[in-house]
Structure 1
Amino acid sequence: MGAPSEIRYCNLPQMPERSFDMPVGPLRMEAILMMAKKWVNGTKLKFSFFEGDSFFTPATDSNGNQTKLFWEGSAEEKEAVRNAFRTWKDLGIGLEFEETGDHLEALIRIGFAKGEGSWSYVGRDAWEIPKGERTMNFGWDIVDDQDTVLHEIGHAMGFPHEHQNPKAGIVWDEDAVYSALAGPPNYWSRDKTFHNIIRKISPDEVQGSSWDPNSIMHYPFGANMILSPEKYKTGLSPEAGLSNRDITWVKQFYPKMDKRTFTRLKAFHSEIISIDAGNQANMEFIPEESRYYTIRTFGDMDTVMVLSEVRNDENVYLSGDDDSGEDRNSVIREKLFKGKKYLINIRLFYKASAGDTCIMVY
């Protein structure tokens, strides 16, 4: 990400804070917020690059002339991104990554608009972005900057900035931070600096019980920006690459999937969901007749449920429902066809008691 004296920082897009329409207890809220932006494990995150001169951001140069910041990147930059996706995947995680030439079918849509900063939407926030827009951008040459690429892909998988972890105990020299970020190479406003550095994220969104200053999701900082802890007054430079805790946490949220453990569902037969909060149940269903089916969870719990069709060994998303923080259960109604294979993935955010929770297709 550069030496501390010339650091260019990731600039996260601001999204509305999660709100609830009904009272939600602190333990339930903690579980929901930690999992809210994570994908259902086994999701294939298709990524694409914008090509050609049709995709750009209008801009004004230093002379007041109108110009364009094109989203297309070089062949070397695209290969650097592919390499970073492989680095994450080679850890043996359950998420899949696949490049597609059609940005309309991609969940991660990547641009290389120079001067716009590097950023990514966090996890499932990408669902909310129109298909013609980027969900990730690299605003400087990243050919020899693999850490920036790994960092932005980490955001795309649902991981927040580690230096905003309230458990870090960082006390900023706020004037020094605002001053440093207002100048080159970032030229950030106070609001942007606050959002990306000074602001503490909710404790409920934090991965784990401790701070990892070597996380790929942590910025480096120059001297005099941090007042405490004392050892970082002279600067903080995370080690290159993924830290041990990065690897532990991505494997915890997205463990490698074993299809032999999938449960086979039968119509009108309830199947108990016996998993702990944060974990996932995976089911298969092969209809014996073509018709509309209802897939519903039962019990006092918060879940996100995703329905996919298996086509040529690829899981094609059909529908999903997220009941977290609501007084209801996840439900999907979809027309399914005789003899085809469907997958139902349920990520459990929170369960109110040790009582039975289950799923039924009918």
Structure 2
Amino acid sequence: MGTPEGIPQYCAQPPQSQPVLRPDLGPQRARAIQIVRSKWVNGTMLRYCFFDDGGEGPGKNQLDEVHQAFQDWKDVGIGLEFREVHDAGDAEIRISFRDDGSWSYVGTDVLTISSREPTMNFGWDLTSPHGKATARHEIGHSLGFAHEHQNPFAGIVWDEEKVYSELGGPPNNWPRAVTFHNVLRKLSVSEVTGSSWDPESIMEYGFPGGLIKEPVKFRSGIPSPLKLSEVDRELVLTWYPPLKAEIPELAPFASAPLDLASGGQADFEIKPPETRKYTLGTFGQTDVVLVLFEDIGGELRYLAGEDDSGEDRNGRLEVKLQKGRRYVVRTRLYSAWGSGDASIMCW
């Protein structure tokens, strides 16, 4: 982000949470969990609010730019929904405008942050080209995407001491630990999808010349991406494809197969024939995240969730469902780590 002629202001991403996985977990199973863990279940309504820090606030132009940045991601055709709310307790994404740089927690990590704290911050004007790119970059983090220049497939060899020196001065004034975390640290291959680097991604920083030794073509710098790239659009649609207009019904005591690849998702609607406590669960040797929503006035609201990744058990939800109401259960597969078929049932 910024221009390659000088050191711009950069996003200072907070550390991501890391799942504690059993040491005996197979590498493919562990990799699938690492890749999927920060992504939302497709079809989730992500509510965002502007955090009240007191004072006059950021001004309408700044708020409008955030609204438009959410819309730009939505216009790709993704299955996620975004809606502004005015109560921080109802919002997964809470946006502040503090003089604290620009940053965002990544994906579902926002759920671990107190509702009294922001999960995203904008520390400079969003109406400039650099600011517009910042808004789209931080929302990319909230969708579960990391910094592209830290992609292990980029093959970047840094002049590390020069990077520390440049980012340690104005306008970023970063300590070495922040520079390492946001620039020099390479992501593990187990954390990234695909096998290539996209220097045009909105998740890429723009860098001036003299910081990169290899690849040779980038010794003069990396131009600052100012909009979503074609690869950004393709990748976000792999995780959040358009939702189907109709989904199959999951009737009580009827098993439905889960014929999914890693990262795939299956959706079912439930229309309870009676009001009582029901159990929803998966069967088979799989790692899944299981999320149940209730249809309230045409909007799906989160009701319950379960994540069995890395454990040798199946996901189970026990919930009271009401006759005459509609529910939707969404199942995202981390991996199928054993033999046999996987399925889901409500009983």
* TM-score in same-fold range (> 0.5): yes
Do 1:22 and 1:326's aligned partners in 2 also have CA atoms closer than 8 Å?
A: no
Which of 114, 129, 151 pairs up with 1:165?
151
Distance 1:18 1:219 in 2: 27
Q: Alignment length, in residue pairs?
A: 344
Distance 2:237 2:291 in 1: 20
Distance 2:52 2:296 in 1: 28
Shift of 1:73: 1.9
Residue 64 of structure 1: aligned partner:
none
The one-character-per-residue Cα deviations of 1:160-210 (angstroms, maximum 9, x if unpaired) are 111000110000000000001100000000001000000011111212111
Distance 1:220 1:207 in 2: 22
> Any unmatched runs of 5+ in structure 2?
none
Do 1:71 and 1:113's aligned partners in 2 also have CA atoms closer than 8 Å?
A: no
The one-character-per-residue Cα deviations of 1:294-338 (angstroms, maximum 9, x if unpaired) are 101010011111000001110000110111111111111111111
Which of 168, 186, 190 pairs up with 1:182?
168
Distance 1:226 1:128 in 2: 35
The CA RMSD over aligned residues, in Å, is 1.3
User: After the TM superposition, which segments of 4 or more aligned residues of structure 1 sit over 3 Å from their partners?
Assistant: none
Do 1:71 and 1:111's aligned partners in 2 also have CA atoms closer than 8 Å?
A: no
2:301 aligns to what SS in structure 1? strand
Residue 67 of structure 1: aligned partner:
none
Distance 2:82 2:127 in 1: 20
Distance 2:17 2:235 in 1: 25
Shift of 1:269: 1.5
Distance 1:189 1:71, change over 3 A: farther
Residue 196 of structure 2: aligned partner:
210
The one-character-per-residue Cα deviations of 1:121-159 (angstroms, maximum 9, x if unpaired) are 000000100111100000111122211100000000000
Residue 2 of structure 1: aligned partner:
2
The one-character-per-residue Cα deviations of 1:239-273 (angstroms, maximum 9, x if unpaired) are 4211110000011110000132x120111111111
Q: Under a length normalisation based on structure 2, what TM-score does the superposition of the two structures give?
A: 0.96
1:242 aligns to what SS in structure 2? coil
Do 1:310 and 1:340's aligned partners in 2 also have CA atoms closer than 8 Å?
A: yes
Q: Which amino acid in 2 is paired with 1:285? A: I
Shift of 1:71: 9.5
Residue 113 of structure 1: aligned partner:
98
Q: Which amino acid in 2 is paired with 1:288? A: P
Which of 137, 154, 158 pairs up with 2:121?
137
Identity %: 47
Shift of 1:22: 5.1
Q: Which amino acid in 2 is paired with 1:100? A: V
The alignment status of 1:286 with 2:271, answered yes or no, reads yes
Which of 307, 327, 334 pairs up with 2:292?
307
Distance 1:26 1:71 in 2: 51
2:241 aligns to what SS in structure 1? coil
2:274 aligns to what SS in structure 1? coil
